[in-house]
Amino acid sequence: MLTNEQKIAVESTEHRILIRAGAGTGKTEVLTRRILHLLEHNPNVTLRNFAIITFTNKATENVKDRLKRHLYSQWLHTTDIELKMRLRAELESLNLVKISTIHQFCRAILDYAGPSEIEASVYYSPSYKVNDSTLLQAADNVMQRWLQQEDDSKKKVLIGLWPAHELRGFLIEAYQLIKNKGLILEQVLEQTRFTMLLKEDGNTAIIKECYIFLLKELKEEEAKLRLQSLSTDGLLEYASKLLKQNPRLVERMQDTYKYLFVDEFQDTSAFQTDILRMICDGGEAPSSLFVVGDLKQSIYQFRGADINSYKSVEDWIEKTGTVLTLRTNFRSTKPLVNFVNTTFRGFQNDEKLPLFEAEDLNSNAQEDLPMEDTIHYVLAEGAPVEEKVAQLIHNEVSKGASYGDFAVLFRTNRNMELFYRHLQKSRIPAQLNGAGNLFKCREVKDMFRIVNWLVTPQDIIKKQEALSTKIINRNLELLISLEKHMSRLLAVYTAAQVIEEVLKVTDARKMYIDEVDEQAVANLYRLKEITRGLSKNENIQLVDFVKWLSIQLLTNKDEKQAEIIDNQKDMVSLITIHKAKGLEFPNVILVDLDRNLDSIPLSPNFLHYAQSGIEYQLRYSGPFNMITSAHYPDAIKIYKEQYLAEEARVLYVAMTRAEKKLYFMVNETVPKKRICYQKWVWNSELIPNPPKSSHGSAETPVGKGDLGSIADNSGAGQDEGKWRHQIEAVNAFLAAKNGILEMATGTGKTKTAIKIINILLEQKEINSVVVTVDGTDLLDQWYKQLVSDTKLTLYQQYDKHKRIAPFSLMPERSVLIVSRNQLADFFSYFDSKFFNNALIVCDEVHGMGAETKVKKLKGQLSRFKYRLGLSATPEREYDDEGNAFILNEIGPVIYKFAIEDAIRRGILCEFDYLPLEFELTDEDRVARKKVIAAHYAAKRDGKPASLNDLYTKLALVKKESLGKIPIFQEFILKNKHLLKRSIIFVETINFGQKIQEIILPIISNYHTYFGDDERINLERFGKGEIDCLIAAKRISEGIDIQSVENIILLTADRAKLQTIQRIGRSLRINPKDPNKRATVLDFVEKIVEQEEHSELTSDQERNLWLTEIAQIRREGI
């Protein structure tokens, strides 16, 4: 039964109709009923006279299915013979009806026109293919030609500020901005040039002038490359331009499609609007138009959706047709509808909130349930949100709910995989929709390891990697069986067929299903389909596939994971809000509510401003140095208003997906000034018992006492098998003979190496051993461990020990422990016979890549028969030469046991990560500018320093920022327990002294470690005589302090190495406290404005990494 408002929309005789359809009001049903009504009451009309335009391919199938059902129902029940015959004919021809996306419709328009000239030197032919890669090639060509032109002062300005790849990125960004908005490039450039002459001068004018030239060149170059193709967006542009210049084509379209229906019209663009207006508002017989949309659900601005275009059509139809409204919601319970109405009505009465054109919904539900049974606030209480979500679902299922009743909605797909894995671990079946990072999934990496080994099965390292996969699971018999089975097939099977065969032989699908991991199966089949798509004839060679897949894994290419949308299965849905649009779920759980909308890219590099054309704000030499065009401040003000208004609409879409219950996952520690969804939903009068901390009373950061109460549901660990990784590492090295064991701090690298030494000596593979590392403490530690675990003769060559000469005389069954600084002198004592029977152990192998070591040792280490490297972080960040030296002289990483593995195994303890945001002071910003100015002054004076030197000096400003001081003081006064058994890392003695002034009134039993003369303080801290140590000097890895509980990072390098070493201090298990739980307090620079696609800062990278590790829980062994 249709409601009165629906019936009016279906039966209206107006030629142009716009339906403003609120969430859950049955708009698709009205659209299909309108089509059927026109068919029934117009005998001369057929479905082939209709063009029905939807937003997605899935929506086209939905409309087609509805039409089929209704047509069949009418055909079945009608007694009118003539109508029955017509309906039968329509059913049989339903597949010929133009039900399509706007892009498919535009392709049809172009195909109707046939070969055409769109504009000067721009052509179209129906044989053209859709290809979106041409723009990138065109940009490369334009930039290359421009850079190769004769030198001119304007070009030098840009090259002096940005590298070529950034200039190329800017060019593509500006070009796509104009295209997505449906603007005419020439008009925009002319407007930009005119305002530039009036308002811009100096570098700002030069930048605009250069980009006006480059954008014009890019359009011409793209047109040349598109001789046989066009882009997806080009379909809309070409169709619009062709209709404008060809009235005959408009008439043909009007004659073919007498009725145009458009769904989800709120997401229209300027090009789409132009196309509809030309077909439905021109000529002698314009087509009838019926559009359905809801401005409150317009959430695709990033794809070119233009609210102004929608409003212009609404104004036009209001004058020439009729605008109707559907307000009755059939989806949600009455309390839910009331809650949504009240929440968004509040936006109109609060100037601090984004613009939102609220329009109340009416509930069709008769039962008036209590609000507290419908709207639920779930406090985090210090626990990870994914853990709370799992608990919530478990509780509700135990009360009779089904897993399939729940959907977890995400603003972005960033954390979806984390939630999925946690639900899987909790034995909760789930399906992903809209998740990314396919090539980061373990199952994809495992398939790569297996196929990589199949290509070269004789490679022992690759065999070990294949054995370590979850699919093979250390089953040597299965691996041998797979090799035997595949040996005759590899030469004839395609890569996609090889993947399928591996899945069959190993029965991997059953294994994943048994583990409630259907997503892994779906991802592997998606990998297979992507592989098939690499070659239309499925003839890509396996070795080419392996190379291709290795590149995807190494470059972390973002690719969507498989989607398992099966409503018949009882599974929790994990889905992005954008993907959920148009769907409904009994119970909706909203996460990411505390996501800071004000820090998300609110400052794009380029904006279009209606009054002046292209405006820009471009960063150079760090995040705080910007060149800004004259009208950018005006443009960004409008952009931010539009951005936050769209975020409000995204929240509206999310909340209106719920049928029965709506759960908000609340972070009770959200800062007062943060702009986020959580603050917006708290504006409602109907919130039952909102958390008291919502308005700032809980801004106090959570201390260890709060986090320590989190229950660990992962199961208790056991000692048996805890250290099995050492055996795996030994076997990996014995198989490879050379390479690096990447093992986390505290996991027994030294003991593992000594096991290798003893085995090789016993097998008479070696006679002598050389151990080298930096630092007296580590060298002494090696000496003590070798005395304890071997029966070898030991010689020392470091500090006061000078024993290399006697070692050279009697090297048999002997070990030389030598510092790296003295290693270069070692080689002159021995001939090739010695090296052919010797092993070198390079502990902290990353140190071997230092520039001085590379120069002295190049070609020397490779003389050893066996070469073993040890490190928790073997890769040297930002040092390709050093990494290449280590790879060539020692070998690759052959075994990895990361810090994450060590925590799961119970070798290292769990920890809580507390990041505190700080802002640079005005003095800091002045200091940064001085550093940059000095750098470029030196460059102009002919004494240029490297960029690394510049970045190091800039980083030092941040490390010594006084902006951390008040944040630290406020926090530590409320969390004094964190100073007990703590190490506070500072960059300089001066900064350390300021920290002393803060902690002195709190704790008296502290000391400093600012240099070797204070080594006694380090030793006393290790013995437990001192509670807190302030360190401005690197603490040697040879100092093992198991009782450290808290690490405070007031300084941290971009490279992971230093951070791993520092937090590793607190993660060592203390035998006196087996239940130890550590805390890492970090200081993260707050980035107020950041571009959408900009690189993460070092602080952001460290924050993400430590956040992930802190969520790891100890597992059963």
Q: Per-residue pLDDT tens for 167-192?
A: 988 999 999 889 888 788 999 999 99
For 985-1022, b where at least 16 C-beta lie within 10 A, e where not — what string? bbbeeebbebbeebbeeeeeebbbbbeeebeebbeebb
Q: In what order do the strands lie in the sheet with 16-21?
A: 98-101, 50-54, 259-262, 288-293, 16-21, 322-326
CATH code of the domain in which 1097 resides: 3.40.50.300
Q: Does residue 336 sit within a domain?
A: no
Let me know whether 575 and 667 are in one domain. yes
| pLDDT at residue 703, as a whole number | 27
Question: Is residue 357 left, alpha or beta, with left meaning phi > 0 and alpha meaning psi from -120 to 50?
Answer: beta
Q: Does residue 621 sit within a domain?
A: yes
| 868 class by beta-carbon count within 10 Å (0-12 exposed, 13-18 middle, 19+ buried) | buried
Q: Which domain holds residue 460?
A: 438-554
| pLDDT at residue 978, as a whole number | 92
d(CA 351, CA 646): 16
Higher model confidence: residue 792 or residue 553? 792
d(CA 882, CA 869): 14
Last residue of a domain, one of 639, 666, 699: 699
> Which tens digit of pLDDT belongs to each residue from 625-634?
788 999 999 9
| pLDDT at residue 712, as a whole number | 28
User: In which band, very low, low, confident or very high, does the pLDDT at 508 lie, cut at 50, 70 and 90?
Assistant: confident
**How far is CA 429 from each of CA 441, 647, 657, rounded to the nearest angstrom?**
18, 30, 21
Query: How do strand 613-619 and strand 606-609 relate by DSSP bridges?
Result: antiparallel
Contact 581, 434 (CB under 8 A): no
| pLDDT at residue 691, as a whole number | 45
Q: In what order do the strands lie in the sheet with 1028-1031?
A: 911-918, 1078-1085, 1046-1049, 982-985, 1028-1031, 1006-1009
Q: Does residue 662 sit within a domain?
A: yes
Record the pTM: 0.58
Contacts of 467 (CB under 8 A, 6+ apart): 474, 475, 476, 479
| Residue 321, pLDDT above cutoff 80 | yes
Q: For the residues 456-475, what does the mean pLDDT come to?
A: 83
Last residue of a domain, one of 306, 326, 346: 326
| Residue among 203, 224, 197, 221 nearest 146 (CA) | 221
Let me know whether 815 and 871 are in one domain. yes
User: In which band, very low, low, confident or very high, does the pLDDT at 128 lie, cut at 50, 70 and 90?
Assistant: low
Structural domains in the chain (count): 6
**How far is CA 933 from each of CA 392, 645, 943, 957, rounded to the nearest angstrom?**
55, 40, 13, 14
Let me know whether 496 and 375 are in one domain. no
Let me know whether 144 and 107 are in one domain. no
Q: Does residue 428 sit within a domain?
A: yes
Q: Does residue 308 sit within a domain?
A: yes
Let me know whether 293 and 378 are in one domain. no
d(CA 223, CA 134): 9
CB atoms within 10 A of CB 198: 8
d(CA 1018, CA 1023): 9
Contact 172, 139 (CB under 8 A): yes
Q: Does residue 728 sit within a domain?
A: yes
Let me know whether 527 and 581 are in one domain. no
d(CA 756, CA 762): 10
| Residue 894, pLDDT above cutoff 50 | yes
Contact 903, 1114 (CB under 8 A): yes
Side-chain-facing half-sphere of 379: CA atoms under 13 Å: 12
> Which tens digit of pLDDT belongs to each residue from 132-181?
567 878 888 899 889 888 767 788 888 888 888 889 889 999 998 898 88
| pLDDT at residue 1071, as a whole number | 75
Let me know whether 264 and 150 are in one domain. no
Last residue of a domain, one of 875, 905, 935: 905
Let me know whether 846 and 795 are in one domain. yes
Highest mean pLDDT out of 113-117, 538-542, 965-969: 965-969
Contacts of 886 (CB under 8 A, 6+ apart): 740, 845, 846, 848, 849, 869, 874, 876
DSSP assignment, residue 277?
Answer: H
Maximum Cα interatomic distance, the chain, rounded to a whole number of Å: 112
Let me know whether 1102 and 995 are in one domain. yes
User: In which band, very low, low, confident or very high, does the pLDDT at 733 lie, cut at 50, 70 and 90?
Assistant: very high
d(CA 935, CA 229): 47
d(CA 1088, CA 24): 37
Report, in this order, helix, strand and coil percent for the chain, each rounded to 5: 50, 15, 35
User: In which band, very low, low, confident or very high, does the pLDDT at 436 lie, cut at 50, 70 and 90?
Assistant: low
Contact 1077, 587 (CB under 8 A): no
Highest mean pLDDT out of 79-83, 533-537, 888-892, 953-957: 888-892
* Element (DSSP H or E) covering residue 855: helix 851-857
Binding residues for ATP: 21-28
| pLDDT at residue 700, as a whole number | 26
> Which tens digit of pLDDT belongs to each residue from 622-665?
555 788 999 999 999 898 888 899 999 999 999 999 999 999 99
| Residue 687, pLDDT above cutoff 60 | no
* Secondary structure of residue 1073 in the 3-state scheme: strand
| pLDDT at residue 125, as a whole number | 64
d(CA 342, CA 684): 6
Contact 905, 1115 (CB under 8 A): yes
User: In which band, very low, low, confident or very high, does the pLDDT at 555 lie, cut at 50, 70 and 90?
Assistant: low
d(CA 574, CA 410): 8
Calculate what percentage of the chain has a pLDDT beyond 70: 90
d(CA 520, CA 446): 11
Q: Does residue 313 sit within a domain?
A: yes
Q: In what order do the strands lie in the sheet with 375-379?
A: 375-379, 658-666, 585-590, 406-410, 572-576, 430-433
CB atoms within 10 A of CB 664: 21
> Which tens digit of pLDDT belongs to each residue from 969-982?
999 998 899 999 99
Average pLDDT score, the chain: 84
Question: Is residue 801 left, alpha or beta, with left meaning phi > 0 and alpha meaning psi from -120 to 50?
Answer: beta
Question: Is residue 73 left, alpha or beta, with left meaning phi > 0 and alpha meaning psi from -120 to 50?
Answer: alpha
Let me know whether 769 and 856 are in one domain. yes
**Structure tokens, 827:** 């080689």
| Residue among 38, 30, 36 nearest 6 (CA) | 30
Let me know whether 164 and 297 are in one domain. no
Let me know whether 268 and 185 are in one domain. no
| Residue in this structure with the two tokens 């054995």, named with its chain if needed | 467
List 766's β-bridge partners, or say none: none
Binding residues: 21-28
Contacts of 7 (CB under 8 A, 6+ apart): none
The phi and psi torsions of 871 (rounded to 5 degrees) equal: -175, 150
Dihedral sign of CA atoms 1017, 1019, 1025, 1029 in order: positive
Contact 1060, 899 (CB under 8 A): yes
Q: Does residue 528 sit within a domain?
A: yes
| pLDDT at residue 943, as a whole number | 82
User: In which band, very low, low, confident or very high, does the pLDDT at 721 lie, cut at 50, 70 and 90?
Assistant: low
DSSP string, 960-999: T-TTHHHHHHHHHHH-GGGGTTEEEE-SSHHHHHHHHHHH
